[in-house]
Chains A and B, each alone.
Chain A
Amino acid sequence: MTHAVPGRPRVGAIARKVGGHLVRGLAMIWVVATISFVIIREIPGNPVLGQYESLIQKGMSPEQAERATAVLYGFLPTGNLWEQYVGYMGSLLHLDLGRSLSTPGVEVTTLIGHAARWTVLPVLAGTLLSFLLGVTMGVYAAIKRSGKLGDMLALSGSLLHGVPVYVIGLLLTAIFATLWPIMPSGGPVDVEFVPGFNAGYIGSLVHHAVLPVVTYTLASYGGWILAMKSNVVAVLGDDFILAAELRGLRRGFVFRYLARNAILPLFTILALSIGMLFGGSIFIEQIFNYPGLGLLLVNSISSRDYALMGGTFLVITVGIVVANIAADLLYTVIDPRVRSGGAA
């Protein structure tokens, strides 16, 4: 656009970009932390103050009760709003999210750490699979766009893009766990296996992961196929494809030319897709009884464990923000056009 593409990325521009992303990401996390602080404090009955008062009634001194409540929620129940807020933010800086109320004494960060892998691994697997599937199908849908097959593929994309995650998950379970029970209906693993690195346990883990991962995959497949199709249609009009066809290149080569040029813009969708899957994880984990972050959040709400609720909400948001930034940076690194454009 402006000048010739330089051979190497300019370090200054990239640093500025990374800095900008970091600042924006931190601002986002700060906003969400503030929201969760306000909500925990403003919940009818003010659980924090309630805890403090019930401890005093049990015979604790105000200082003891104050300290105990602060350990639970990460901030002091007394003092003015500003002091409470500063206290809360301070403990967040120390990565202290307070302690769980429903599993007494356990730190919220520990619970979240245990749950995170049940969310992150399936989300990553689903993202990868749906990417591969969506991109391949997208190219076909674009090439065959005037035929029946292309129509069907595009429609499958629009439909799956529009259908809620839980509908996909529930239908899959209804078919493969209830009507034709070849898959387990819930839980991350069969209880009879000893946890560890043995064939039975790992096989059971994989068996239980199939339906959740397929659900993640189908949920974001629609976005990929639609985007890939429109990118390929745009590239199809370019001269170099015509040239390749005139040179009599085999279809496989033309296919590769197409895919390479159409795939780059998809990395912006990566961020969206990961965000969507993190959001969808709440439903998927609920349906498949998978002990990840989403289930933790829902359970913390139904057991009124507000410290855990605030912490989980915050961590899910941070996960999405980080995924967004990473996808954006990845895009900058691999697409020379964006790179040369400097900070955007």
Chain B
Amino acid sequence: MTVIVSPEGAMRPEAGPPGTTRATLRRNFWRGVWRVLRRKPSRMAGVVIVAAFALMGVAGPLLYPAQLPRDDDALYAPPSLAHPFGTDFEGTDVLALVVTGARYVLLTGLATAVITVALGTLIGLVAGFHRGRWDTLLMRLTDMNLAIPGLPLLLVLSTVWKFESPLEMGLVLGVLGWGGIARAVRSQTLSMRERGFIEAARGLGLPTRHIIGRELLPSMAPYIAMNMLIAVTGAVYAQVGLFFLGVLPFESNNWGVMLNLAVFNGGALTTPAALPYLLAPLIAILLLTLGIVLIVDAMDEIFNPRLREE
């Protein structure tokens, strides 16, 4: 996953000396990123992990035949060289299931993140920038969005809506989850609109669209990017969880389906035989979360120079 961060935005507060070109700023920025990443190997690990998952989502299903081979002689086979995570209840390689199941999970995460961030940013910006009546109305909506418990609502919604494609699922999760970002973007906007460069832009009579798109948004880009990453984990969490609970029909294999079958059909919680089948998707989720947490941690340091020296 590439984190798109506007370099000029990150540099805005210092607003380089006159004559500095954007290219230099960009180069300096990437050099800073590299420095922060190199200082702690754990952060590099985060980037590597997330990149590996992205690759798995894109290329995973291409590595295996559409119908994974079954082996009736090796049901719940223990881990071996041929099957590093053993096999499932019909003798299919568990590692193959995890790899091919990644696309669905990650696609949902991506779709959710995009929708969450787009909605949250838009609503936060409009509320913070226009204030007044719009602000009140939008913040009431936001409070509502924050307070309604997402997972129970999703469960209830699953009786009327089958969330067939990852994109549909992402849409629903995104619509349920924009509240936090909207609040944060609004408070950023409120503090930023009083700053000099925004007042200057307003004084120059620049159109609102320009002020929001060119002046406000870039300064918030790092923050928004971080939230986007966190939204990905949230979406993976919710979606795998829904499949685990078994309220959605199983269309294709994914991590949540694996968890469900391992626990409620394979008896993984009482007999060790199905344990690898349960642990493989759990480890995948743990690793993905770890990767994203490490990256967010690094980004925090890149964009908050104060955190760098301690």
A residues adjacent to B (C-beta < 8 A): 24, 27-28, 31-32, 35-36, 39, 42-44, 145-146, 155, 158-159, 162-164, 166-167, 170-171, 173-174, 177-179, 185-186, 275, 278-279, 282-283, 286-287, 297-298, 301-302, 304, 306, 309-310, 312-313, 316-317, 320-321, 324
Contacts and interface: CB of A to CB of B under 8 A. Distances in A.
Interface footprint category on B? 35 or more
Given A171-B279, A301-B155, A316-B149, 15 more contacts: A27-B144, A43-B159, A146-B310, A163-B289, A167-B282, A170-B278, A171-B282, A179-B272, A275-B147, A283-B241, A286-B244, A304-B159, A306-B159, A317-B149, A321-B147
B241 A164 contact: yes
Contacts of B147: 28, 275, 320-321, 324
B149 A279 contact: yes
A286 B245 contact: yes
A269 to B, nearest CB: 13
A178 B247 contact: no
Nearest to A35: B153
B237 A24 contact: no
The 3 closest A-B pairs by CB, nearest first: A164-B237, A162-B289, A146-B310
B27 to A, nearest CB: 30
Given A28-B144, A162-B292, A283 B247 contact: no
Contacts of B310: 145-146
11 contacts: A32-B148, A155-B42, A164-B240, A174-B268, A179-B275, A279-B149, A279-B151, A301-B155, A317-B152, A320-B149, A321-B147
Contacts of B240: 164
Contact of A275 (B149, B241, B268): B149
**Chain A interface, >50% SS class:** helix
Interface in B251-281: 259, 263, 268-272, 275, 278-279
Contacts of A28: 144, 147-148
Given A162-B233, A163-B285, A170 B156 contact: no
B160 interface: yes
A122 to B, nearest CB: 17
A42 to B, nearest CB: 6
Given A158-B297, A162-B293, A173-B269, A283 B149 contact: no
Given A167-B286, A170-B263, A177-B270, A283 B244 contact: yes
Nearest to A171: B282
A190 B42 CA distance: 45
B212 interface: no
A119 to B, nearest CB: 12
A297 B293 CA distance: 32
Interface string B207-240: 0000000000000000000000010010011001
Contact of B157 (A39, A159, A279, A317): A39
Contacts of B237: 164
Contacts of B159: 39, 43, 301, 304, 306, 309
Given A164-B241, A170-B263, A302 B246 contact: yes
A138 B149 CA distance: 27
A286 B158 CA distance: 17
B285 A167 contact: yes
B192 interface: no
A185 B269 contact: yes
B72 to A, nearest CB: 25
B119 interface: no
B84 interface: no
Q: Please indicate which of the listed interface residues A167, A286, A310 has the most CB atoms of chain B within 10 Å of its own CB.
A: A167
A35 B230 CA distance: 28
B143 interface: yes
Contacts of B269: 170, 173-174, 177-178, 185-186, 287
A12 B240 CA distance: 48
Contact of A164 (B155, B268, B285, B293): B285
B150 interface: yes
Nearest to A278: B149
B160 A39 contact: yes
B272 A178 contact: yes
Contacts of B245: 282-283, 286, 298
A302 B268 contact: no
B152 A42 contact: no
A282 B269 CA distance: 17
A66 B18 CA distance: 79
Interface in B34-49: 42
B167 interface: no
Given A163-B286, A179-B275, A317 B148 contact: yes
A28 B147 CA distance: 8
Contacts of A39: 156-157, 159-160
B33 interface: no
B143 A24 contact: yes
Nearest to B284: A167
